[in-house]
Amino acid sequence: MGVGKEFVTICPITVATPGLKAEVEQGVTPAAAGLELRENDMHVVDLGRCASPHKKALLATTRRDSFRNDFSRSLFSE
């Protein structure tokens, strides 16, 4: 963990309405984004409710991958 890299940005995964899900699939909304690996087809990332906790605050949480590879993760971050 280097200087200036102590925090991460996290967003909640929520259940989308059919309209929001369609907008996410078309890439026309800045409010939400899709995930490759999700438990439910209607799950999206709510980009309007981001938080930036310190990495140490997340040590006790279980990490689950939402993307198959680093390329997909990189596209999402852009």
Check pLDDT > 70 for residue 1: no
Check pLDDT > 70 for residue 2: no
Distance CA 46, CA 23 (A): 13
Phi-psi region for residue 14, left (φ > 0), alpha (ψ -120 to 50) or beta? beta
Q: What is the pLDDT of residue 22?
A: 96
Q: What is the pLDDT of residue 26?
A: 94
Count of all residues that appear for the chain in the document? 78
> What 3 state SS string does 50-76 have?
CECCEHHHHCCCCCCCCCCCHHHHHHH
Digit-coded pLDDT (tens) for 53-75: 999 999 998 888 888 899 988 88
Average pLDDT over residues 33-42: 91
Q: How confident is the model at residue 50 (pLDDT cuts 50, 70, 90)?
A: very high
